Structure 1
Amino acid sequence: MTASPRIGSPRIRRREVDAAGSWPETLSPLLRRIYAARGAANLGQAQPRLAQLLPPDDLGSLPQATALLADALAHDRHIVVVGDFDCDGATACAVGVRGLRMLGARRVTPAVPNRMVHGYGLSPALVEELAALQPDLLVTVDHGIACHAGIAAAKARGWQVLVTDHHLPGERLPTADAIVNPNLRGDAFPSKALAGVGVMFYVLLALRKTLRDEGKLEDKGPD
């Protein structure tokens, strides 16, 4: 019998970080190291402003997505935002619901699947349950790119489906009315690490611009 090799005790290996940069003297060395470990060399990079966000223009299918949402708002359609149970899915659902309400949607309902009951994401089982809400438009956040059966079931009921997701797509795409995902093949959006909540945020940015351009929204927020 040969003895199995011993596994040594885990060791903490400190990553070498150049924390020099250009920082205020009042900033603690610990914060300098944390910021530097994340690639920031000055306070401007560590505390970005809205003006520094990547513009949404290169995020594919935004025109189709905003057209769906603007039409739903104009005709007072019932929008159901389908989230997920994890941090990204929960925050994306909250941003979607609150953002749509701020932009004038009067009938917006959040829905979060129970993985033990419905399975992952927009499944046929969840669609069956959502039928009681009588939705007109489903908006998936942080999932949807792999929910072929669920989206097909929703479409069979006559519902529109907008997928907002960031996960890698498979060989074929679901039959949604529009799909916004920076990781779609050929999508020109520079950041492929955008979280699901970020994708929904960019959809709302684009929708707000569409509504303002059409004279349907007056606000004093940042451009």
Structure 2
Amino acid sequence: MTPKKILRRPGPETTSGWGQSLPPLLRRLYAARGVTSDEQLTYTLKNLASPMDLRGIERAVSLLTEAIANQQRVLVLGDFDADGATSTAVAMLGLAMLGLNDIDFRVPSRFSDGYGLTPGIIHRLQEEGSLPDLLVTVDNGISAVEGVRVARDLGIKVVVTDHHLAGETLPDADAIVNPNQPDCPFLSKNAAGVGVMFYVLTALRKHLREQGLLPEPQPNLGSLLDLVALGTVADVVPLDHNNRIFVEQGLRRIRQGEARPGILALLEVAGRDHGEISSTDLGFVVGPRLNAAGRLDDMSVGIACLLADSQDEA
């Protein structure tokens, strides 16, 4: 009896020319994660998608440049999870590095304010006499139709940076930067809120340099990549090529001991050696400890930890 011929579907190792030096099993694993070329296995910063592909980023950069040139009062409105905390820290540190002096942050209370930019937060700022000239949302804002309306009615300019899916109605903000808003051509729809804010900063730095407005010594935004990596992993967004670059570059900084003191302190109390950490440690060790502040008390404490300048303070 002639044995039947067994037909097998071609595996990744036989369907394309990429990754020929990799073992077949590893190629299959990569392919299952959407890797289809050798370039996608290169995690250098030059391989990041261009920030200028983000819809609304030029307007956002213009407003932030105006705020820096005129030293306007800027408020960063964050969120009470790890992505929101790291987004807030990246915005605070990055904008200060780029020349903004009058900057502060506010995080809604999970228990009394609810999520995002609400009219109540704006009214509280008005009662305190602390209304900003420019309000920048991070990791929220795409659904804040009423909050944005109240802010703009009071003369506040609003830049929304977010990554969540948009609803039927977009807020009438002065600028919206969100890869998931309609008609945005940006390739990485999986960017976390912290990644979106980092992109805004890189576009702003480029514009300031071209205009001769960049502070000296020129700031290195790469120093923020540990925070970008933490927020990206902790928010459990899909690790496409762009996000893998963020995570790889951030992990390198942490392993070299060049992370923010707050991240190193959280690793220390968890008994982890920063020189040997992986993305698993960000997702299951650092992220939950940071999230605890927002879930149990006030995420402002977690953000203060990330903003700490010394190990003792952290």
- TM (norm. structure 1) is 0.80
| 1:62-100 superposed Cα distances (whole Å, 9 cap, x missing partner) | 110001000001111111010001111111111011000
Given that residues 21 and 41 in structure 1 are in contact (C-alpha distance below 8 angstroms), is that contact kept between their aligned partners in structure 2? Answer: no
| d(CA) in 2 for partners of 1:39, 1:185 | 24
Q: Secondary structure at the match of 1:120?
A: coil
- Return the match for 1:154 from 151, 155, 158: 151
Q: Secondary structure at the match of 2:137?
A: strand
Aligned to 1:140: 137
Aligned to 1:98: 93
2:60 corresponds to 1:65: yes
What one-letter code is carried by the residue in structure 2 that aligns with 1:202?
Y
Tell me, which stretches of 5 or more residues in structure 1 are unaligned?
1-16
Distance 1:75 1:52, change over 3 A: same
| d(CA) in 2 for partners of 1:80, 1:222 | 20
Given that residues 65 and 162 in structure 1 are in contact (C-alpha distance below 8 angstroms), is that contact kept between their aligned partners in structure 2? Answer: yes
| 1:93-152 superposed Cα distances (whole Å, 9 cap, x missing partner) | 110110000000001101110021111100111112223223111000111010111111
1:165-204 matches, cutoff 5 A: 165-204=162-201
* 1:56 shift after superposition: 1.0
**How many equivalent pairs are there?**
202
Given that residues 22 and 43 in structure 1 are in contact (C-alpha distance below 8 angstroms), is that contact kept between their aligned partners in structure 2? Answer: no
Given that residues 76 and 92 in structure 2 are in contact (C-alpha distance below 8 angstroms), is that contact kept between their aligned partners in structure 1? Answer: yes
| 1:18-61 superposed Cα distances (whole Å, 9 cap, x missing partner) | 8997469xxxx9x9998776456999755612111111121111
Greater shift in the superposed pair: 34-43 or 49-58: 34-43
Aligned to 1:209: 206
| d(CA) in 1 for partners of 2:221, 2:101 | 23
- TM (norm. structure 2) is 0.58
Aligned to 2:75: 80
Distance 1:222 1:177, change over 3 A: closer
| 1:176-208 superposed Cα distances (whole Å, 9 cap, x missing partner) | 111111111111111111111111111101111
What one-letter code is carried by the residue in structure 2 that aligns with 1:204?
L
Greater shift in the superposed pair: 123-132 or 170-179: 123-132
Given that residues 202 and 221 in structure 2 are in contact (C-alpha distance below 8 angstroms), is that contact kept between their aligned partners in structure 1? Answer: no
| 1:156-195 superposed Cα distances (whole Å, 9 cap, x missing partner) | 2111100001111111211111111111111111111111
What is the root-mean-square deviation of aligned Cα atoms in Å? 2.8
Q: Secondary structure at the match of 2:159?
A: strand
| d(CA) in 2 for partners of 1:174, 1:185 | 13
Give % identity. 50
Aligned to 1:126: 121
| d(CA) in 2 for partners of 1:41, 1:176 | 38
Q: Secondary structure at the match of 1:138?
A: strand
Q: Secondary structure at the match of 1:128?
A: helix
1:2-41 matches, cutoff 5 A: 22=21, 38=33
Greater shift in the superposed pair: 205-214 or 48-57: 48-57
Aligned to 1:5: none
Higher helix share: 2
Distance 1:98 1:22, change over 3 A: farther
> Which consecutive aligned stretches of 4+ in structure 1 deviate over 3 angstroms post-superposition?
17-24, 31-47, 220-223
| d(CA) in 1 for partners of 2:20, 2:84 | 35
Tell me, which stretches of 5 or more residues in structure 2 are unaligned?
1-10, 14-18, 223-314
| d(CA) in 2 for partners of 1:178, 1:93 | 18
| d(CA) in 1 for partners of 2:91, 2:42 | 24
